[in-house]
């Protein structure tokens, strides 16, 4: 998919939001931007740890399941970061320097940069092993990676055909929509839904007692599908997804997702 590039301008703005500090450090005037709201967006999150200052910067719009997945991992780990919402292929130099193919998300950590949500999460897990999102035990670790891979390359692969062609393209980018592709995605999704229902636990999480990347990756795709009116309706899946929704990390990201900057006067 190719996306035409926005023109951007930058200003420094501070706002307060929902009982916690939200700092808008950059305004990007982005015409019909699928991945950021117009006039959004770099938002700093103090994190739950005692770290002061923000060193990590995430690039990408939160509507993307891959960007949301990464932000949820950062929240679960209590790491402070700044989210700069921009679309794939944005010309922002800092972003392009670390995302060679223009894909979102990308992460900058000091002078280190990386793209691809799974690669970034592997890096974060190695660098910040406290509050793990990947199990240490070999079989469980393999299963976690399987769910991440399933979520990204099977579930999201089908879901994004619908999201792009029924929401992002026509509503945000004003691009013509490929309805045939959306229909194809719709036809593919039930197989993923049936699989998720077959593995969704009656209680707890996909890998047992610990909430892991497996839950984050799969739930994040469902959240993106909500933009096109698709919600989990199979019973075990719906109950598991509701439990995910209770996580403080999920609630925080939901706030970000609901956040609308005030229009300039």
Rule CB under 6 A: which residues touch ligand GSH? 1, 64, 66, 88, 102-105, 116-118, 152
Q: How far apart, in whole angstroms, are the C-alpha atoms of residue 139 and residue 41?
A: 40
CB of 6 to ligand GSH, least distance (A): 15
Which of 22/163 has CB closer to ligand GSH?
A: 163
Q: What one-character DSSP code corresponds to residue 48? A: S
| Whether the Cβ atoms of residue 86 and residue 30 lie closer than 8 Å to each other | yes
Q: Which residues pair with 109 in a beta bridge?
A: 56, 112
CB of 21 to ligand GSH, least distance (A): 28
Which of 47/159 has CB closer to ligand GSH?
A: 159
CB of 23 to ligand GSH, least distance (A): 25
CB of 105 to ligand GSH, least distance (A): 6
Classify 165 in phi/psi space as left (phi over 0), alpha (psi -120 to 50) or beta.
alpha
Which of 22/221 has CB closer to ligand GSH?
A: 221
Q: Helix or strand or coil: residue 219? A: helix
Which of 2/16 has CB closer to ligand GSH?
A: 2
What are 258's two structure tokens?
């609901």
Nearest to 120 by CA among 110, 130, 109: 109
């Amino acid at each position: 998919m190719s996306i035409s590039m926005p023109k951007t301008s930058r200003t420094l703005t501070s706002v307060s939001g929902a009982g916690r500090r939200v700092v808008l450090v950059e305004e990007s005037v982005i015409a019909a931007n699928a991945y950021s709201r117009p006039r959004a967006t770099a938002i700093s999150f103090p994190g739950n740890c005692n770290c002061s200052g923000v060193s990590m910067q995430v690039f990408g719009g939160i509507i993307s399941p891959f960007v949301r997945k990464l932000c949820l991992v950062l929240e679960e780990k209590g790491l402070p970061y700044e989210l700069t919402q921009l679309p794939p292929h944005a010309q922002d130099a800092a972003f392009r320097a670390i995302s060679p193919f223009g894909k979102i998300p990308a992460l900058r950590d000091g002078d280190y940069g990386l793209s691809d949500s799974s690669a970034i999460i592997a890096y974060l897990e190695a660098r910040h092993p406290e509050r793990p999102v990947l199990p240490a035990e070999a079989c469980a670790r393999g299963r976690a990676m399987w769910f991440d891979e399933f979520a990204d390359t099977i579930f999201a692969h089908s879901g994004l055909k619908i999201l792009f062609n029924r929401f992002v393209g026509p509503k945000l980018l004003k691009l013509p929509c490929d309805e045939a592709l959306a229909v194809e995605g719709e036809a593919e999704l039930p197989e993923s839904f049936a699989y998720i229902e077959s593995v969704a636990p009656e209680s707890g999480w996909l890998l047992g007692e610990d909430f892991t990347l497996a839950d984050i990756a799969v739930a994040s795709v469902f959240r993106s599908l909500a933009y096109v009116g698709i919600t989990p309706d199979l019973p075990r899946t719906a109950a598991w997804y509701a439990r995910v929704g209770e996580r403080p990390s999920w609630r925080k990201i939901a706030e970000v997702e609901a956040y609308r900057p005030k229009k300039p006067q």
